[in-house]
């Protein structure tokens, strides 16, 4: 999906943007809506591509590590 000219910063921004879209959709349409699930799957692809590409980048800086730690999303438990 990403061209070789993309750098880690651009990839992280794409991940951040997709995550925001997913969260916004989940808040408006629900966590199990088709659109939210689509964004979640697209986010998974972006993260996987970043992880593969990061092997080619220099060692992640503390800023990158912090950004990934901030991207952890905790899904609420649904009590039935």
Does 48 fall in a domain? yes
pLDDT of 45 over the 70 cut: yes
In a domain, 77, yes or no: no
Write out pLDDT tens, residues 1-18.
Answer: 444 446 788 999 999 999
Q: Do 46 and 15 contact (CB within 8 A), yes or no?
A: yes
Answer yes or no: is 3 within a domain. Answer: no
Domain assignment present for residue 59? The answer is: yes
8 in Cβ contact with 53 (< 8 Å): yes
Which residues are CB-neighbours of 42 under 8 A, at least 6 positions away? 18
Where in the sequence is the domain holding 64, given as residue range(s)?
8-70
Residue 22 buriedness (CB in 10 A; 0-12 / 13-18 / 19+) = buried
What CATH number does the domain containing 65 carry?
A: 4.10.280
Say what the pLDDT of residue 18 is. Answer: 96
Read off the pLDDT of residues 55-76 as tens digits, 9 standing for 90 and up: 776 555 566 666 666 665 555 5
- What's the pTM value of the predicted model, to 2 decimals? 0.64
In a domain, 39, yes or no: yes
Q: Using DSSP, state whether 79 is helix, strand or coil.
A: coil
What total of structural domains would you count in the chain? 1
């Amino acid at each position: 999906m990403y061209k070789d000219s993309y750098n880690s910063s651009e990839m992280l921004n794409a991940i951040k943007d997709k995550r925001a879209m997913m969260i916004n959709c989940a808040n408006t349409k629900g966590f199990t809506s088709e659109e939210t699930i689509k964004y979640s799957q697209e986010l998974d692809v972006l993260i996987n591509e970043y992880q593969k590409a990061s092997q080619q980048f220099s060692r992640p800086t503390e800023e990158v590590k912090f950004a990934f730690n901030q991207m952890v999303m905790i899904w609420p438990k649904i009590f039935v």
